[in-house]
Structure formats: C-alpha cells, structure tokens
Amino acid sequence: MRTHCLLFIISCILGCSAEFYVIDDRVGLGREFDGIGGLSGGGATSRLLVNYEEPYRSQILDFLFKPNFGASLHILKVEIGGDAQTTDGTEPSHMHSKDEANFFRGYEWWLMKEAKKRNPNIKLIGLPWAFPGWVGEGTQWPYFFPNVTADYVVTWIYGAKQHHNLDIDYIGIWNERKYDPVYIKVLRDTLDSVGYTNVGIIAADGDWSIAAAMLENPYLNDAVEVIGVHYPGTKTVEEALLTEKKLWSSEDYSTFNDDIGAGCWARILNQNYVNGRMTSTISWNLIASYYENLSFGGDGLMTAEEPWSGHYLVESPIWMTAHTTQFTQPGWFYLQTVGNLAHGGSYVALTDRQGNLTIVIETMTHNHSQCIRPPLPQFDVSPQKATFQLKGSFAHLTDLQMWYSKLDFETKKDTLFQRSSPVKVYNGSFTLRLDVDEVYTITTVNTGQRGSYPEPPKSRPFPKNYSDDFTVDNPPFSEAPYFADQTGVFEYFRNSTDNGSHAFTLRQVVTERPVTWARDADQTISIIGDYSWADLDVSCAVLIETPITGGVFLAARVDQGGESVREAKGVFYWIYANGTYKVTNDIGGQRVLAEGLSGTREGVWYTLTLSVVSFVASPLKGYAFGIGQGQNNKQNISLTVPKSLIRLSNHENAQQVSQHQERKAPC
C-alpha cells in the first residue's frame, strides 16, 4: 500500500494531473435512450417554412432530419392544431366543427411526411395546445366530456394514417395545463378500442406532479407510458424515478439560437440524463420560421424566416445536436458509468449492445450555457485533463473516431462539428485535454458527416410591393403565403356561387371561440409584411357575411402578435354590417380616432384602402398589415379583389393619413 501511494505521489509531481473516468458495461446498463427531437407548434413556429421555394426548402429539411447530415433528429413533435393562439400564431384544427373533418389543413402533415421521407425511423408525437370550441361544448375546459375530447384526438391519429400514411408513436394530453386522470384513462381506452395499442401516452407535458399521482393510482400508472416534463433544469424527482416509467424532457431549450443557446442545448442534452435520468430531450422549437418580432423570435435549432428571399441560417445548435444524434439511435442504452467531470462539465456513454460505443463530453461554462428557463445555479468549469478507461466489452478497442466543437466567445471564431484525427487507445485508455465551452464525441461509429450546401441567397426584407389575388385552383396548403394568423384561421376558399372576380378568396372560418391556450384577441387577425415599415398603403376587398353584428378591419403598424395580440396597437380601420365605420388605435376598438356612418352592410363586396404616413421623426412601427373580423368572432369574412387581393406598398415620403372605401368614403 505504501509503495502504491509513493508511486502515485511521484507520478503527480512529474505532471500527471488527469482525472480518471471508467467506461464499463460489466456493471450493467442504464436506461434505454429514446432520442433527441424538435417541436413544430405551440404555435405556428414553422409557418414560413412551407413558403420557401426549392431547392432551399429541401435543404432546410435536410439539415433538420436527414441522417448523418445535420441535426439528424430522431423525434418530431407537432401541435394538433386547435384554431387558437398558442405562442406565435394559430394552427388550424382538423375539425373546426363536430360535423366535419379535413386532414389537409395546415402544414404539420406535410412536415411529418418530409421528416419520414428523410428518416423512416423518426418517431412522431402529437400534442394539443388548444381545442375547437365545440370540444369544450361552450366551456374553456376540454375534460368535461372526456369521450368527446378523446374521440377528437384519436380522429387526428386516424387522419394521419388514412390520409398521409403516418403512424403516430405518441400522443399528449394538453400542453402545460392541468391533467385529468379520468381523461387519460378514457383516452387510453379509446386508443385501444380502435386498434392503436402501440400509441403511447405522454403526460402531462408540464411539471412532475403527475408522478406522485401515478404511484397512488394504478389505472393512471398503466395508462401513461412516458412522463413528459417541460424545462426541468436537468433535475428529476424521486416519485418519477419510482414509477420506473420513461422520463423525458418533452419540451426544453426555448433559447435564442446564438452561441449561448448552443451552449444551453449542448449542456442539457448530456445533463438531462446525467442529473435527471431523462432519456429524451425535445427542443422548442424545431426551427425559427415565423416573423422575428413575434414571441420568442429566433428560438429554434436554426432560422428560416425569409421565404421571399430563400435566405436561411444553419445555427450552431444544429451542430450541438449532431454530436449526439449522428452517433446514437433510439434503442441504444446509456451505460451506468456516466457523470459529471471533476472540474465542470459532463460525459455520457451509450452502446447499441453490439459493440458500438459513443461518448459525448461537454464543458459548457455557466455564463455561456444559460437557457431561458429555469434559472441556472452558479457552477465553475475550468480546463482539465481527463483519462477514460475502457473496460468490459470496450476494453479491446484500439482507436475511436472523434468529432469536436468549440464555442469561442473570445475570438468569435467557432469550431463546429469538426472531424478530428482518430483517438488512439493504449492499454484500454485515452486522455483528452479539455478546454471550456467544448463538445467532444468519441465513437466507434464512422458514418458522421457535416452536411453542407452552397450558400443560400442573401437576406433581403419583405418586398415593398406585394400582391395576392388567391387565384389558386388546388392550393398546396390551406393558408395563403406569408399570412400568419394570430387569432382565428384564414383559409383559401373557392366561392362556387361567384363566377366573377370574387370566386377565389381567403376566408376566416372560426365561428366559435376555441378552448384557448393563450389570451387570444376577441377579434380575429392575420398579419403579413415587414415589421420595420412605418409608412404604407394597404388595399383589400372584403365581404361581411354576418348581418348587423358582423364587421371587418384593415390595419397597419400592428405592433403586437403572438401571446400579446390582445394588446395590439396600430391603425385599425373598421366597417360594420350595421352601416357604421370607425378608426381606432387598438385591436379592441376602444381607442377611437374617428367614427361615423358608412352605409356598409353584409353580403356586399367593398374595397378598403388604408394609407398611413408618419408625422414624427420616430414613428410607431409594426407589422405591415393585418386583416380581421369586427365586433365578435361568431361570423365569417371573405377577402378578395378583382386583380390583386392584397396590395402592400411601402412609401417613405407621403404627407398624409387617409382612409378610403370603395362605396362611401368615411373620412
């Protein structure tokens, strides 16, 4: 014993200061790895992606889903649209009413098919944020009639399979809202009764509280396959571990996709398992493909918010993802020999139980890896030397592939997902000198690739002159390009009773207030254009369908969207079926600038034109254009114009503010 101590002291004096970490499968395996994913929805976060032209749209999809290319995601989670605002917009329901179903609305079906096209093994998850009003039968609670809600959700799963040949692997309950044990059991029974026994239930997509309830309620415990939690800060609770269920961070990250966001993502991908034994982490959101000035602009693994230019950005979180996803697959197992590094950072090791080994190491510092939530306790990370001793099935390995990233906050010259020289293993061990803010993948897998395409087109703003007449016989998507619904749902509509200039329209179709998730406005609205515009002309033809109480507005400089849409300010020009008009400064119609008689009524087409010009040096800015409904949303409106339905033009030197109407000028 004394001889061994003396040798150790001598070796340290000679400069050996490496910490030792054992990688060994002889002590058994840890939990099964379930994959890394991204979330489209919650809401409308992929809205602009569908409007990219080829080849750029396919290139973006490759960076997200193509194996051994970019993020190479294992899981795609999507919102089951509920006709209501769910963060950055509304996504349409497959059943606006109980008497109809349409499985071609929105773009989530398309996105799931594109993901499957690239990776047939990708897992698919659906989760509701909001529900059409009929599901709650006049309430704001979807659990009063659990059979109705379960049938509605199962119909979505049916539509995915019957109309798109998509097998949904998991289904959720109600995003970040209180769960109901009775509903979960009814949903499980409903799934089983129609043959969807392989569709697992994730609950409750909020906090950990359902775990304790599952321990007390065997029926609830049997119904739930995965405990999904949001933004856990890499920590779990004892009750969740005692259930012996799969534990997932079913929504995480939600951080701007700069290098700090990349540091956040790299840290939690490892530490969600090391600290919390969570076997899947899903990023909100998948891709920042919505107008940047909406809620959480730029949160996504990459950015694609300019379909009119074709410009997109492959951000550093894509390559942090690749360090794990390109060298593991769902069905691999974590080893029990995982943990935190002695001088900060963490390491995980996974195996396919067929001889392959992947080790992922991260050394993210506190200030360079903070996620948007929860608050990150202080910790220290410093440069260190680490020796990894391979034992058990891995003792025979002699060399390993290495991929390396460095987020360099001093020089701003990052190294992202670079293939390095193979690591030589001597007597079962290898040593690495680890600096701060680095990620290493050490692996037997040799198929990794840093995919690339030629540079996409340069960024350019929304065109200053834009028009759309909606004349599309078979639109590929239900939404018109670039329109981003914020309350209500605007869809292409073919008016079969009109053979003239108003045959093709955009129609607002939500006629009953949904079971909401966010604070939707009382008036429906869709936005389009450039947030930086202050002076502009907008022209739109409108038809009010509801007598007396019906109405419509045209707006400019709309300064709010997303979850804050209810507080939107701007210039709102309203006409009503009762023959009046008004101009207000707010979407609620309370701050009246002008009002009077217009002679307008339902069933007649009017062309509204709104010109807004600045009188001050620093004008209020906002989204270029909004269209929406008037006094309440229990109505439909249609929009069209003989030649160009929507005309947007930005002008810098106009000298007046005016509102015009085709039939009778209100001002």
Pairwise CA distance, residues 647 & 83, whole Å: 26
H or E element that contains 632: none
Q: Is 482 exposed, middle or buried (0-12, 13-18, 19+ CB in 10 A)?
A: buried
Residue 31 contacts residue 350 (beta carbons within 8 Å): no
Rounded to whole angstroms, how far apart are CA atoms 303 and 79?
A: 19
380 CB contacts (<8 Å, ≥6 apart)?
Answer: 343, 344, 366
3-state secondary structure (DSSP) of residue 644: coil
The amino acid at residue 153 is V
List Cα–Cα distances, 172 to 77, 148, 603, in angstroms. 10, 16, 42
Backbone φ and ψ of 350, nearest 5°: -135, 155
437 in Cβ contact with 364 (< 8 Å): yes
Other CB atoms within 10 A of residue 208 CB: 18
Long-range contacts of residues 408-413, Cβ cutoff 8 Å, at least 24 apart: 408/437, 409/259, 409/368, 409/437
536-544 and 605-612 as β-strands: parallel, antiparallel, unpaired?
antiparallel
Q: What is the bridge-based pairing of β-strands 75-80 and 170-171? A: unpaired
Q: Which of 468, 503, 505, 501 is nearest to 490 (CA)?
A: 505
Please list the active-site residues: 176, 251
CA-CA distances (angstroms) from residue 62 to 259, 315, 629? 22, 14, 39
Residue count (the chain):
667
DSSP-derived secondary structure for 333-381: EEES--EE-TTS-EEEEEE-SSS-EEEEEE---STTS--SSSPPPP---
Can you tell me the distance from the alpha carbon of 341 to that of 11, in angstroms, rounded to the nearest whole number? 21
Residue 243 tokens read as 């259930």
Distances in Å between the Cα of 573 and the Cα atoms of 223, 384, 580 are 52, 64, 11
Helix (H) or strand (E) holding 272: helix 259-274
Counting Cα atoms < 13 Å in the Cβ hemisphere of 297 gives 9
- Measured in whole angstroms, the distance separating CA 666 from the mean position of its chain's CA atoms is 43
Separation CA 360–CA 347 (nearest Å): 6
